[in-house]
């Protein structure tokens, strides 16, 4: 496998550690819905750090300021994260606010970014050329995360639900990027690496990964183990190029209690048991195992990267960003534990200059 051979030497340096950003906290209809899902007092311990409690079962979440984005950059960089992976929504969508704030930040050099091609694939034929060109332009932004000596790292999520038109648009995106002088490293986010890659490599994908790991286990440790054995080892045995997913959890009771409009009728509404909330130490240990997996599997992990679910999926159960503590201050426990692991590993393995992000927190 040529892509694997090309990356065989890259894993002498620490892998690039990224986290998915689902930015539902900056205003608009989606924010109004997640304010309801996290409104009940029993869920206040998983509110975003910038949320306000304004009643027994009512909260206000206003995360759409430059000040909040700048502080989040500090949180992420100081923990040693290399990049954020932003879900890419159409430009006019309220869900695009956070990537705009990131790009406008004077602190953006502290952490790289990449995109997860997402709802932009669902726009009309008239809107598509503009969305395609917007995505390509992002690949040329300073601080875009690259792998394998300069290839922009691009994830894709949801095209499998959108049929042949989405596959056609992926091909058009790749062609437009290459015409612009960028050769994206396209990573398909599915569920089964061994079977996903043979199918998706034919559609132009270079590797496979996943967005999240659902589970009905009673303990987070069991969820993490299921991901490691069912996906990491699945990819290793099959010998397919892979970007390991690390999960911070899967506990969707807030959305069961107060359903969100885009997930009505999904199976989890009938699910009785979700994995327990992860301790900071459990998430850090899971991430450390992912780092070791990547370092030990240079042929399977040529991109030398890890993706974490998620930075801020607070109401879905997967987050590493700070939450709002009882006294209203940011609880950085999960990031602190992750930072201890990443900084220790960085000391153990000195990085190469290639693909190193500009921030100094971890290097």
Say what the pLDDT of residue 275 is: 97
153 band by pLDDT with thresholds 50, 70 and 90: very high
Non-local (6+) Cβ contacts of 166 within 8 A are: 121, 158, 159, 160
Say what the pLDDT of residue 360 is: 37
Residue 176 CB coordination number (10 Å): 17
8 band by pLDDT with thresholds 50, 70 and 90: very low
Pick from 347, 345, 335: nearest CA to 81 = 335
Residue with tokens 């909040």: 68
The runs of H, that is alpha helices, within the chain are: 2-6, 29-37, 66-79, 97-104, 128-139, 163-179, 193-201, 220-227, 233-238, 253-257, 280-296, 333-348
Answer whether residue 355 is part of any domain: no
Residue 343 pLDDT greater than 90, yes or no: no
- Give the mean model confidence (pLDDT) for residues 23-40: 97
158 band by pLDDT with thresholds 50, 70 and 90: confident
12 band by pLDDT with thresholds 50, 70 and 90: confident
Say what the pLDDT of residue 159 is: 66
Answer whether residue 115 is part of any domain: yes
Answer whether residue 216 is part of any domain: yes
Say what the pLDDT of residue 357 is: 42
- Give the mean model confidence (pLDDT) for residues 334-362: 63
* pLDDT tens for each residue of 279-338: 999 999 999 999 999 999 999 999 999 999 999 999 999 999 999 999 999 999 999 999
99 band by pLDDT with thresholds 50, 70 and 90: very high
Hey, what are 142's tokens? 């300073």
The Cα angle at residue 113 between residues 279 and 341, in degrees rounded to 5: 35
DSSP assignment of 103-116 equals HH-TTGGGSEEEEE
Mean pLDDT over the full length of the chain: 91
The Cα angle at residue 222 between residues 348 and 306, in degrees rounded to 5: 40
Answer whether residue 207 is part of any domain: yes
Q: How far apart, in Å, are the Cα atoms of 353 and each of 3, 28, 150, 324, 339?
A: 20, 41, 12, 37, 21
Hey, what are 281's tokens? 């130490």
* pLDDT tens for each residue of 230-261: 999 999 999 999 999 999 999 999 999 999 99
Answer whether residue 353 is part of any domain: no
Residue with tokens 């949320």: 51
Say what the pLDDT of residue 121 is: 78
Do the Cβ atoms of 52 and 60 come closer than 8 Å? yes
- The percent of residues above 90 in pLDDT, for the chain, comes to 85
Residue 54 pLDDT greater than 50, yes or no: yes
pLDDT higher at 165 or 81: 81
Residue 133 pLDDT greater than 60, yes or no: yes
pTM for this prediction: 0.92
Hey, what are 357's tokens? 């992000």
The Cα 136–Cα 330 span in angstroms is 35
Answer whether residue 358 is part of any domain: no
Say what the pLDDT of residue 162 is: 65
Inter-helix orientation angle 333-348/66-79, to 10°: 40
Non-local (6+) Cβ contacts of 195 within 8 A are: none
| 55 three-class SS | strand
- Give the mean model confidence (pLDDT) for residues 115-138: 93
Answer whether residue 198 is part of any domain: yes
The Cα 12–Cα 348 span in angstroms is 11
Say what the pLDDT of residue 351 is: 40
* pLDDT tens for each residue of 179-204: 999 999 999 999 899 999 999 999 99
Furthest C-alpha separation in the chain: 58
Residue 143 pLDDT greater than 80, yes or no: yes
Residue 71 pLDDT greater than 50, yes or no: yes
Is the dihedral angle over the CA atoms 139, 143, 145, 146 positive or is it negative? positive
Q: How many domains does the chain have?
A: 1
- Give the mean model confidence (pLDDT) for residues 39-67: 97
User: What are the CB-based long-range contacts (under 8 Å, 24+) for 129-135?
Assistant: 130/91, 131/90, 131/91, 132/169, 132/172, 132/173, 132/176, 133/176, 134/91, 135/88, 135/173
Answer whether residue 124 is part of any domain: yes
Q: How far apart, in Å, are the Cα atoms of 272 and each of 41, 218, 251, 262, 268?
A: 20, 10, 11, 21, 8
Most confident range, picked from 71-85, 108-122, 154-168: 71-85
Q: What is the CATH number of the domain that holds 120?
A: 3.20.20.80
363 band by pLDDT with thresholds 50, 70 and 90: very low
Say what the pLDDT of residue 348 is: 56
- Give the mean model confidence (pLDDT) for residues 114-119: 93
Say what the pLDDT of residue 163 is: 74
The Cα 338–Cα 335 span in angstroms is 5
Question: Strands 305-309, 245-247: parallel, antiparallel or unpaired by DSSP?
Answer: parallel
Non-local (6+) Cβ contacts of 97 within 8 A are: 23, 26, 27, 64
Give residue 208's domain range.
Answer: 2-347
Pick from 61, 40, 65, 41: nearest CA to 51 = 61
């Amino acid at each position: 496998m040529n892509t694997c051979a090309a990356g065989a030497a890259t894993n002498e340096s620490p892998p690039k550690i990224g986290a998915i950003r689902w930015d539902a906290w900056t205003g608009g209809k989606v924010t109004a819905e997640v304010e309801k899902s996290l409104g009940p007092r029993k869920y206040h311990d998983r509110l975003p750090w910038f949320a306000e409690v304004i009643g027994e079962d009512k909260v206000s979440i206003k995360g759409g300021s430059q000040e909040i984005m700048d502080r989040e950059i500090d949180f992420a960089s100081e923990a040693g994260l290399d990049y954020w992976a932003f879900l890419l929504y159409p430009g006019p969508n309220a869900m695009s606010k956070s990537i705009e704030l990131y790009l406008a930040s004077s602190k953006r050099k502290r952490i790289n970014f990449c995109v997860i091609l997402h709802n932009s694939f669902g726009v009309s034929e008239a809107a598509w050329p503009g969305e395609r060109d917007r995505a390509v332009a992002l690949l040329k932004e300073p601080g875009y995360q690259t792998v394998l000596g300069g290839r922009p790292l691009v994830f894709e999520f949801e095209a499998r639900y959108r049929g042949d038109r989405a596959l056609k648009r992926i091909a058009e995106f790749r062609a437009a990027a290459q015409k612009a002088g960028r050769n994206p490293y396209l990573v398909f986010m599915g569920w089964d690496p061994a079977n996903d890659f043979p199918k998706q490599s034919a559609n132009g994908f270079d590797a496979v990964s996943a967005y999240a790991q659902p589970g009905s286990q009673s303990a987070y440790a069991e969820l993490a183990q299921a991901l490691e054995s069912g996906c990491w080892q699945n990819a290793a045995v099959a010998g397919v190029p892979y970007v390991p997913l690390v999960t911070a959890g899967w506990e969707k009771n807030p959305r069961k209690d107060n359903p969100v409009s885009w997930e009505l009728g999904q199976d989890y509404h009938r699910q009785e048991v979700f994995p327990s909330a992860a301790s900071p130490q459990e998430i850090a240990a899971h991430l450390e195992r992912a780092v070791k997996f990547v370092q030990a599997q240079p042929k399977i992990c040529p991109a030398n990267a890890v993706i974490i679910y998620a930075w801020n999926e607070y109401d879905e159960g997967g987050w590493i960003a700070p939450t709002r503590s009882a006294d209203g201050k940011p609880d950085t426990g999960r990031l602190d534990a992750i930072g201890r692991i990443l900084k220790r590993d960085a000391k153990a393995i000195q990085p190469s200059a290639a693909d190193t992000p500009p921030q100094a927190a971890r290097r």
